[in-house]
């Protein structure tokens, strides 16, 4: 009887390993078979949705996201300011040729300091963040950064990476887990945690790339890109230093972003910034 249980256990382990390999191979083929070239960022990305699908996803999620922050702000004049600056950025560069439908929302929440973008061009700024900004250029910096997320297709890219990570983590869990060995649960949990941390790193890289794109976009619209540095300084002051370690955060800390923004400005304008930019 003991010999039979051992043989059965070996067969079960072999079957789990085979299934794990199949899951991993399918996940990899699906991911690496979805190459698309991004003309704005000049890079090849692995994305399995179209621009039209991104727009549809963003439009579908926009009302719910708005409600989470108190809905649209009732001040139509302030909303018009956000619209004017956002549209100025879009119309001043190649953004209008991307096919995205940009729409800018000022949210009523005046306690939360936040801005975010949904796939396809839905961009949100809370009143809590707007109150920290002092100039048109600073608001342009926030909007330019969020526009960067959209045209760099970070949401779509992240969805594809999440599918890959989920598939590979599932394969690792399948291979590591042994129902006859309780200790294998720890290995399975570790595999899932590694997958989550990989996606966190992607999020930090996305933020830095969006800062770089924001510098390009707002400068093309006539805004001083150094305003983005002032935004980071305001955010650092508002945070009061109460941040978790950057390694476990999806956003780089403001100090690191300031360095990245300055490097982007130096690269975009090696001869220095011209005169007449809106601060």
Residue 23 tokens read as: 């899951």
Determine the pLDDT at residue 161: 79
**pTM > 0.85:** no
For Cα atoms 70, 74, 76, give the angle at the middle one, nearest 5 degrees. Answer: 140
Q: What is the mean pLDDT of each run of 10 residues along the chain (279 residues)?
A: 51 69 74 87 93 93 94 98 98 91 97 93 96 97 97 89 72 59 50 49 80 96 97 85 50 82 94 90
What CA–CA distance (Å, rounded) separates 71 from 36?
A: 35
Residues whose CB is less than 8 angstroms from the CB of residue 273 and which lie 6 or more positions away in sequence, other chains included: 219, 224, 225, 226, 265
Q: Is 146 annotated in the active site?
A: yes
Task: Determine the pLDDT at residue 63.
Answer: 94
> What per-residue confidence (pLDDT) applies to 165?
73
From 54, 136, 138, 146, the catalytic residue: 146
**Close Cβ partners of 272 (under 8 Å, ≥ 6 residues apart):** none
Tokens 């009523």 map to which residue? 108
DSSP character for 124? Answer: E
């Amino acid at each position: 009887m003991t010999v039979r249980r051992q043989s059965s256990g070996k067969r079960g382990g072999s079957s789990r390993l085979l299934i794990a390999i199949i899951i991993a191979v399918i996940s990899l083929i699906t991911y690496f078979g979805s190459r698309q070239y991004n003309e704005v960022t000049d890079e090849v990305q692995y994305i399995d949705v179209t621009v039209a699908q991104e727009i549809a996803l963003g439009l579908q999620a926009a009302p719910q996201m708005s409600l989470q922050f108190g809905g649209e702000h009732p001040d139509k004049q302030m909303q018009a300011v956000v619209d004017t600056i956002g549209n100025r950025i879009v119309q001043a560069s190649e953004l209008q040729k991307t096919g995205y439908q940009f729409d800018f929302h000022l949210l009523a929440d005046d306690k939360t300091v936040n801005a975010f973008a949904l796939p396809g061009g839905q961009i949100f700024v809370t009143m809590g963040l707007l109150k920290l900004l002092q100039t048109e250029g600073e608001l342009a910096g926030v909007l330019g950064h969020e526009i960067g997320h959209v045209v760099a297709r970070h949401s779509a890219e992240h969805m594809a990476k999440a599918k890959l990570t989920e598939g590979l983590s599932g394969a690792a869990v399948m291979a590591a887990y042994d129902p006859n060995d309780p200790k294998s649960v720890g290995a399975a949990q570790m595999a899932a945690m590694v997958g989550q941390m990989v996606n966190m790193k992607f999020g930090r890289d996305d933020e830095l790339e969006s800062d770089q794109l924001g510098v390009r976009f707002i400068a093309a619209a006539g805004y001083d890109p150094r305003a983005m540095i002032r935004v980071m300084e305001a955010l650092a002051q508002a945070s009061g230093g109460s941040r978790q370690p950057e390694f476990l955060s999806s956003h780089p800390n403001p100090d690191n972003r300031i360095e990245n923004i300055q490097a982007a400005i130096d690269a975009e304008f090696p001869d220095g910034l011209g005169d007449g930019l809106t601060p």
